[in-house]
């Protein structure tokens, strides 16, 4: 038998792949199916509310059915469910990461749905906005409030259940993507230790650590600082806008600048922390909040752009200079929030790219290297354990793979 040539190699196994194999695919498929069913149900129920109470919508422009909260939240739940089913079947890293991000966002959409249903429920119980004007006869008629009460209760229940399902989906995704993840291991083989321990395994996190080291910390700190400034500005301007309006059913939408600014503020703070610490969990949290901030920025843009359009139209009906000055101030404040939404949305997109380059798509699971020499127990930094003594340090052995058992018989 020819002597086996020694091979200098270090083999990095793939714990990322092992963690992905542990992903509960059946659970993700079940949760995704439920989210799709509930999302379709929310959209249908909201459409029924609009269809039944459309005459009131024509009589009272401030009625709430035209916001279609159940429709767009239901559409997001359907999207999250589809991604959940795809992640459960494919079990790929990018799909699981996408499921995690959408699940975290879905929690806030669920909060929006149940908050909307809870706010409109008292008005439905008390019979508010149940009177409408019949145009041909020009007389007032009333609608039965009972259907609205039942439909609002159904939307509230859907919001609670979808929120719970999204939390469970977050736990499934996080167990693979971020907090539950294990760093890579290095397998080294030493021929002089074959008799006692044929395989020496030393933990090492080189593939993961090197990818994290590529994270643009200075860029994250800069983006985080800008997001914090814009978030504070949006919250202040949103509070100034709310000063002109009393507390009513539209208050959550009037506060769009406040809570959108709060999300930007938190995202910016986490971005600064991620840029300083460069830890996996902080970068993953930064990625999730950045993607979530994109949705909040879009909603802030849409909400305040509609207000800009409304105040521009109301300009022609101003009766005196005081109303003109108030409309000018409201128009300027809403325009400023639209600009903040555009800039913060762009910053969140860039932040999500920085995070994704480390956490999901840009990451490498397996890596092979060829070092010069390996000592038993030595780590990647070149440190040699003292217990092996000077003799072994002066005579290093090249690492090689162990011989197969069939070959050792000869």
Which residues touch 369 (CB under 8 Å, ≥6 apart)?
Answer: 9, 10, 12, 206
Sign of CA dihedral 37, 43, 46, 47: negative
Please report the pLDDT score of residue 229 as a whole number. 94
Which residues touch 106 (CB under 8 Å, ≥6 apart)?
Answer: 35, 76, 77, 80, 162, 163, 166, 169
Going from N- to C-terminal start, the domains of the chain cover 1-182, 214-360
Tokens of 189: 């083989």
Q: Identify the helix (H) or strand (E) that includes residue 186.
A: strand 185-188
Which residues touch 370 (CB under 8 Å, ≥6 apart)?
Answer: 8, 9, 10
Q: Identify the helix (H) or strand (E) that includes residue 101.
A: helix 93-126
How many other C-beta atoms can be found within 10 angstroms of the C-beta atom of residue 183?
Answer: 15
241 closest CA partner among 312, 327, 301: 327
CB contact at 8 A, 282 and 254 = no
Please report the pLDDT score of residue 227 as a whole number. 93
Which residues touch 49 (CB under 8 Å, ≥6 apart)?
Answer: 65, 70, 148, 151, 152
Please report the pLDDT score of residue 197 as a whole number. 44
CB contact at 8 A, 340 and 296 = no
Task: In whole angstroms, give the CA distance from residue 222 to residue 275.
Answer: 9
Q: Mind listing the pLDDT tens digit of every residue in the chain (410 residues)?
A: 444 444 444 444 445 555 667 788 888 899 999 999 999 999 999 888 877 776 555 555 444 555 678 888 999 999 999 999 998 888 887 788 888 888 888 888 888 888 778 777 766 666 555 555 555 555 555 566 677 788 888 998 999 999 999 988 888 887 777 654 444 444 444 444 444 444 444 444 445 555 666 778 888 899 999 999 999 999 888 878 766 554 444 444 556 788 888 889 989 998 998 888 888 778 888 888 888 888 888 888 888 887 787 777 766 666 777 777 877 888 888 889 989 999 999 999 898 888 877 776 544 444 444 444 444 555 554 454 544 444 444 555 444 444 444 444 33
Please report the pLDDT score of residue 301 as a whole number. 85
How many other C-beta atoms can be found within 10 angstroms of the C-beta atom of residue 320?
Answer: 7
Please report the pLDDT score of residue 258 as a whole number. 82
Find the DSSP H helices in 247-378: 251-254, 256-277, 280-314, 321-359
DSSP helix/strand/coil, 24: coil
Task: In whole angstroms, give the CA distance from residue 198 to residue 376.
Answer: 12
């Amino acid at each position: 038998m020819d002597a086996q040539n020694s091979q200098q190699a270090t083999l990095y196994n793939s714990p990322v792949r092992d963690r992905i194999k542990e992903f509960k695919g059946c659970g993700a498929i079940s949760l995704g199916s439920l989210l799709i069913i509930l999302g379709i149900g929310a959209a249908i129920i909201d459409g029924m509310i609009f269809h039944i109470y459309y005459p009131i919508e024509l009589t009272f422009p401030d009625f709430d059915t035209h916001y279609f909260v159940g429709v767009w939240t239901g559409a997001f739940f359907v999207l999250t469910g589809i991604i959940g089913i795809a992640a459960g079947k494919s079990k790929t890293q990018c799909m699981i990461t996408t499921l995690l991000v959408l699940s975290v966002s879905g929690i806030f959409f669920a909060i929006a749905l149940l908050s909307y249903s809870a706010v409109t429920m008292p008005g439905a119980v008390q019979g508010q906005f149940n009177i409408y004007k019949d145009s041909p006869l020009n007389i007032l008629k009333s609608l039965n409030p009972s259907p609205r009460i039942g439909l609002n209760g159904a939307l509230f229940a859907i919001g609670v259940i979808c929120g719970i399902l999204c939390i469970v989906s977050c736990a499934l995704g996080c167990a693979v993507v971020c907090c539950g993840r294990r760093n890579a291991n290095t397998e080294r083989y030493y021929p002089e230790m074959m008799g006692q321990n044929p395989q020496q395994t030393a933990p090492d996190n080189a593939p993961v650590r090197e990818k994290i080291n590529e994270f643009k910390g200075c860029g994250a700190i800069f983006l985080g600082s800008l997001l914090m400034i814009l978030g504070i500005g949006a919250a202040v301007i949103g509070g100034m806008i709310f000063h002109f309006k009393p507390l009513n059913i539209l208050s959550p939408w009037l506060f769009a600048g406040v809570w959108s600014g709060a999300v930007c503020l938190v995202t910016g703070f986490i971005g600064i922390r991620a840029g300083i610490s460069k830890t996996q969990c902080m970068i993953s949290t930064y990625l999730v909040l950045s993607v979530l901030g994109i949705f909040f920025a879009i909603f802030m843009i849409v909400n305040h752009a509609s207000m800009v359009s409304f105040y521009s139209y109301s300009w022609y009906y101003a009766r005196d200079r005081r109303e003109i000055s108030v409309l000018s101030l409201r128009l300027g404040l809403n325009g400023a929030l639209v600009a903040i939404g555009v800039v913060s949305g762009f910053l969140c997109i860039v932040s999500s790219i920085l995070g994704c380059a480390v956490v999901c798509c840009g990451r490498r699971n397996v890596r092979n290297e060829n070092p010069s020499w390996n000592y038993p127990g030595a780590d990647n930094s070149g440190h040699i354990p003292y217990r092996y003594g000077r003799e072994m340090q002066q005579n290093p052995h090249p690492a090689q793979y162990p011989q197969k058992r069939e070959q050792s018989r000869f």
